[in-house]
């Protein structure tokens, strides 16, 4: 057995540099931390080979996939699923199950093989349908498709970052709900990641957070096979990963032989006993172990081919002519894990029943939060404003709304990427999450936007917490890979994005979002909100918190906006509604639709047009805080807002794309970035003034005075969901 334990880091009190005491003696208790069970080497070897061949058969049949990592990581997977992890295939949503994340998700044939072998609802037919349309075994893991998968992985670095979030949620839930003698939550989070994951910046951000937070129940196994698609990692990745993770504050170990099951089990057992920091175990593996092309890039993303696959089967003692075979003794051994899992789940249930007797209200709250149920009457908790009340920036209204709901929605856990004083996201009812205070609900993410969102995704996946994140709207671009996975994964992450337009002013075009709203609205299953005032901010919070399978982006102003007559927090749920309606029964001459800080400009412009003694123009003003919600309304309702035959002008201080769906004419910022200047000067420069909007409205009215304005609601609606 070859095993290297990298000596613990001692932090110097005088300086932040970490030191390693190379002469430190081994702990006298270290022997107690070795894996105690007896590993049946002969049967385990057959099991590992079965995993390899089953994975190779899947990729071969699909003629697509990544077999190399699956074959190299099979020993790690076997040790985890057969000897280490607590889980129940019959109860895949058991709250206290150990979580497993395959960060190098391209190797998912490995994960599907394990789920099948230990008894999850992943059949042999599912394995045979690997990478086929609408199968339960897609080309990268997706938890919404496959029982036993915790998070969607594939974009490298996301999985290990999600694992950090899972560990954050575990630590928080344990601190909130555990009581002496009742470890309701004490699970571990395990992840396997590869060289590619650790090259991605998001993994560095999240790993730095994990070390700072002291997440002692996070254990990562690093599949170090030194191969990427381009070839040997010597081409691009030569850093000392172990030393890097030492500097992050992780406990580190190295297993020199990735086929040595005992060494892997011992390393994991040691890691489990390190409770004050996360652990990473570097496991030296051979990609495509057993193949003629093992150890080369050839086996990374290709099927082995018929000849090589037969060679591997013969080498491991399997019939080369048979496919998708699980030897009886292997099936029986893994099959026992279903009964083991049921017993572990039953034991936990018995404990929870006693817990419920003693801590009834706490138990009910735990069940509500794990079920993802939203507290009732959230809208009633949120403030209502009148036009007489002094206006504020909507980021300040956001602060008020957040602090209205936070005491009543204790699952709200989150923070800002080092912009708390600007985003105004501090919760007065809480405290900072830290190693000494995991009950704290406020996370200091640091300047790590991408890591922040990926960690929040993991928190959402765990259950029991409703994560929120915050930064400037423009900097959500740093995190778009993780934002996309929020939407794809149906995680109800709340994004509080402030400084939402050119009106942020002097910081200039590097900070001013132009195309950002367009890209967010283009993303499936993502709701983008841009409230006009205090009432709409309240309504946006209520709507966002009611969405349990979709993330939401709340876009807030830096500048002050007035509280408007006609806004209604309840009507935000309609997505768009009339805030100014001209008197009389006849059709208006124009409809102006706007969002956020431009709504008050349109209401003022409408008043100017309506009061022109020479030529009265009747203008309806529509506020559309959420396009996605508006699109979900009935045709009759949408027609009541956008009356057929009436021209529509949209106004938004951002890129124009997407508004032609609702408007005949669009006033926005087309094909150029912002500018550095005062908020007032920037708005004037780009034409977002009452005077200019009034002039643009006149042009639209004049244009359509001699030609029909076609209905943008009544047109062919092609069903693109089929």
d(CA 251, CA 9): 8
Nearest-angstrom CA–CA distance, 340 and 351:
17
What is the enclosing helix (H) or strand (E) of 137?
none
Closest CA to 696 of 666, 669, 673, 674: 666
Contact (Cβ atoms closer than 8 angstroms) between residue 122 and residue 116: yes
10: enclosing H helix or E strand:
strand 9-11
User: Can you say which residues are annotated as belonging to the binding site for Mg(2+)?
Assistant: 195, 225, 227
* Binding site, annotated residues for thiamine diphosphate: 106, 154-156, 196, 225, 300, 475
Phi, psi of 667 (to 5 degrees): -115, 115
> In angstroms, how far is the first alpha carbon of the chain from the final one?
56
What is the C-alpha to C-alpha distance for residues 593 and 598, in angstroms, rounded to an integer? 9
Alpha helices in 555-643 (DSSP H): 599-610, 627-631, 635-641
Residue burial 394-411, b: 16+ Cβ < 10 Å; e: rest: bbbbbbbbbbbbbeebbb
Please answer whether residues 473 and 398 qualify as being in contact, where contact means their C-beta atoms are separated by less than 8 angstroms.
no
> What SS3 state is found at 363?
helix
Q: What is the C-alpha to C-alpha distance for residues 370 and 390, in angstroms, rounded to an integer? A: 40
Per annotation, catalytic residue among 200, 205, 411, 449: 449
What is the rounded (10 degree) CA torsion for 652, 657, 658, 663? 60
Q: What is the DSSP letter of 420?
A: H
Please identify which residue in the block is written with the tokens 């047009």. 609
Burial 43-73 (b: 16+ CB within 10 A, else e): ebbbbbbbbbbbbbbbbbbbeebbbbbbbbb
Number of CB atoms found within 10 A of residue 372's CB: 14
Specify whether the backbone of 463 is left (phi greater than 0), alpha (psi in -120 to 50) or beta.
left
* Adjacent-strand bridge partners of 253: 5, 281
Q: Is 197 helix (H, G, I), strand (E, B) or coil?
A: helix
Residue in the structure block whose two tokens are 């430190």: 24
70 membership: H or E segment, kind and range: helix 68-79
Q: Which two tokens stand for residue 123?
A: 């059949």
**What are the DSSP calls for 515-545, one per residue?**
SHHHHHHTSTT-EEE--SSHHHHHHHHHHHH
Extract the annotated binding site for substrate: 66, 300, 395, 422, 499, 507, 511, 558
Give the residue ranges of DSSP H helices in 214-287: 241-248, 261-272
* Catalytic site includes residue 449: yes
HSE toward the beta carbon, residue 681, CA cutoff 13 A:
8
φ, ψ dihedrals at 623, nearest 5°:
-95, 130
**Per DSSP, what are the bridge partners of residue 442?**
414, 432
Cβ-contact 496, 456 below 8 angstroms: no
Residue pair 533/391 in contact by the 8 Å Cβ criterion: yes
Residues noted as catalytic: 449
């Amino acid at each position: 057995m070859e095993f290297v334990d990298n000596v613990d880091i001692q932090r110097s009190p005088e300086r932040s540099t970490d030191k390693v005491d190379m002469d430190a003696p081994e702990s006298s208790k270290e022997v107690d931390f070795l894996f105690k069970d007896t590993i049946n080497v002969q049967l385990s070897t057959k099991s590992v080979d079965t995993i390899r061949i089953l994975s190779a058969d899947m990729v071969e049949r699909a003629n697509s996939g990544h077999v190399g990592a699956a074959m190299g990581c099979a020993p790690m997977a076997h040790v985890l699923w057969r000897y280490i992890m607590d889980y129940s295939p019959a109860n895949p949503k058991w709250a206290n199950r150990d979580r497993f994340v395959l960060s190098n998700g391209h190797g998912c044939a490995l994960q599907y093989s394990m789920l099948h072998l230990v008894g999850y609802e992943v059949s042999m037919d599912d394995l045979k349908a690997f990478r086929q349309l609408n199968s339960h075994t897609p080309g990268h893991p997706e938890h919404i498709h496959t029982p036993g998968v915790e998070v969607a992985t594939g974009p490298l670095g996301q999985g290990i970052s999600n694992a950090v979030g899972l560990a954050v949620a575990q630590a928080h839930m344990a601190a909130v709900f555990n009581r002496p003698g009742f470890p309701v939550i004490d699970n571990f989070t395990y992840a396997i990641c590869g060289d590619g994951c650790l090259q991605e910046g998001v993994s560095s951000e999240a790993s730095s957070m994990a070390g700072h937070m002291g997440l002692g129940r996070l254990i990562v196994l690093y599949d170090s096979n030194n191969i990427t698609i381009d070839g040997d990692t010597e081409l691009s990745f030569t850093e000392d990963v172990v030393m890097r993770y030492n500097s992050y504050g992780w406990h580190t170990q190295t297993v020199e032989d990735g086929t040595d099951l005992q060494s892997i089990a011992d390393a994991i057992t040691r890691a489990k006993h390190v409770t004050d920091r996360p652990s990473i175990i570097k496991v030296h593996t051979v990609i495509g172990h057993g193949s003629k092309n093992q150890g080369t890039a050839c086996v990374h993303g290709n099927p082995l081919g018929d000849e090589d696959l037969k060679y591997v089967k013969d080498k491991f003692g399997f019939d080369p002519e048979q496919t998708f075979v699980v030897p009886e003794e292997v099936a029986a051994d893994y099959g026992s894990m279903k009964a083991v899992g049921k017993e572990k789940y039953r034991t936990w249930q018995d404990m929870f029943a006693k817990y419920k007797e003693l801590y009834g209200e706490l138990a009910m709250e735990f069940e509500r939060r794990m079920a993802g149920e939203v507290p009732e009457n959230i809208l009633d908790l949120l403030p209502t404003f009148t036009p007489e009340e002094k206006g504020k920036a909507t980021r300040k209204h956001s602060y008020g709304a957040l602090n209205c709901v936070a005491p009543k929605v204790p699952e709200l856990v989150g923070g800002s990427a080092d912009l708390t004083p600007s985003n105004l996201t501090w919760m007065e009812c809480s405290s900072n999450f830290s190693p000494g205070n995991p009950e704290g609900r406020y996370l200091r993410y640091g300047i790590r936007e991408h890591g922040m969102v990926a960690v929040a995704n993991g928190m959402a996946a765990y259950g029991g917490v409703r994560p929120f994140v915050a930064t400037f709207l423009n900097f959500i671009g740093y995190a778009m890979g993780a934002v996309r996975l929020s939407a794809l994964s149906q995680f109800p992450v709340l994004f509080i994005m402030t400084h939402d337009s050119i009106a942020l002013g002097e910081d200039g075009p590097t900070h001013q979002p132009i195309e950002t709203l367009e890209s967010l609205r283009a993303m499936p299953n993502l709701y983008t909100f841009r409230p006009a005032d205090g009432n709409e901010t309240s309504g946006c919070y209520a709507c966002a918190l009611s969405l349990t399978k979709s993330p939401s982006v709340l876009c807030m102003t830096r500048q002050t906006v007035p509280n408007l007559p006609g806004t209604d927090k309840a009507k935000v749920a309609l997505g768009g509604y009339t805030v100014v309606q001209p008197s009389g029964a006849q059709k208006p001459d124009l409809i102006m639709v706007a969002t956020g800080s431009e709504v008050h400009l349109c209401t003022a412009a409408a008043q100017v047009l309506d009061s022109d003694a020479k030529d009265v123009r009747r203008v309806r003003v529509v506020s559309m805080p959420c396009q996605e919600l508006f699109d979900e309304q009935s045709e009759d309702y949408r027609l009541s807002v956008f009356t057929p035959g009436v021209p529509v002008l949209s106004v938004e201080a951002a890129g124009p794309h997407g508004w032609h769906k609702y408007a005949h004419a669009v006033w926005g910022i087309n094909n150029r970035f912002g500018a550095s200047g005062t908020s007032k000067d920037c708005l004037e420069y780009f034409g977002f003034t009452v005077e200019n909007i009034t002039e643009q409205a006149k042009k639209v009215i004049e244009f359509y005075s001699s030609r029909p304005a076609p209905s943008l609601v009544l047109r062919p609606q092609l069903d693109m969901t089929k």
